[in-house]
């Protein structure tokens, strides 16, 4: 059976998460060094905190994991789960939030490891194929990895670091 694309997607997701990608930035590298205080800080009124970004990514990964597992696709776009408030996230705590984020990555990888390339052509909702869903997940992760980087850079400037 052919798994060339599946293996490539697993590799790319793993690189973005904690590998050595060409961009030299990973989620692990960005968020593991942050203090509890830093992750909840809003560096600018128009910029989400790191905790808000990580929660947002985790919630979307849960949706995508469900779709990958064969459950009906249920968007959270217009729900409170899409962007939880810092106050709500502080109650959860950074340790739990980060743990759920890392677990969501592993769940996606585990689901992909069970598949063959032909599965990527399967339609899941609205005429979209699994390939579109997996690639969208990677695009979403990269977008927010950049957003987290911007938030951290703002925080460093506010704290007098460079």
pLDDT in tens, 49-81: 999 999 999 999 999 999 999 888 888 889 999
Q: Give the pLDDT confidence score for residue 125 in this predicted structure.
A: 80
pLDDT in tens, 88-130: 999 999 999 999 999 999 999 999 999 999 999 999 887 889 9
Give the CATH number, domain containing residue 69.
1.20.120.450
Average confidence score pLDDT of the chain = 94
Interacting residues of 65 by C-beta distance below 8 A, sequence separation 6+: 104, 107, 108, 111
- What is the pairing mode between strands 123-125 and 128-129? antiparallel
Is 2:117 a contact under the CB 8 Å cutoff? yes
Is 129 in a helix, a strand, or coil? strand
* Structural domain that includes position 106: 4-158
Total count of domains within the chain: 1
Res. 162: pLDDT tops 70:
no
- Separation of alpha carbons 124 and 96, rounded Å: 31
Res. 1: pLDDT tops 90:
no
**pLDDT band of 8, cuts 50, 70, 90:** very high
């Amino acid at each position: 059976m052919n798994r060339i694309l599946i293996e490539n997607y697993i590799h790319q997701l793993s690189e973005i998460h904690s590998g050595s990608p060409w961009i030299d930035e990973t989620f692990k590298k960005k968020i593991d060094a942050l203090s509890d205080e830093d992750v909840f800080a809003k560096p600018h009124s128009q910029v989400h905190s790191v905790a808000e970004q990580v929660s947002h990514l985790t919630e979307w990964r849960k949706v995508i994991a469900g779709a990958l597992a064969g459950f009906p696709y249920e968007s959270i776009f217009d729900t409170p789960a899409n962007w939880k408030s810092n106050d709500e996230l502080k109650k959860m705590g950074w340790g739990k939030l980060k743990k759920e984020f890392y677990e969501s990555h592993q769940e996606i990888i585990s689901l992909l490891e069970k598949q063959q390339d032909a599965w990527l052509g399967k339609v899941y909702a609205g005429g979209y194929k699994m390939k579109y869903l997996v690639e969208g997940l990677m695009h979403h992760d990269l977008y927010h990895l950049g957003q987290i980087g911007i938030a951290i850079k703002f925080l460093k400037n506010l704290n007098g670091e460079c």
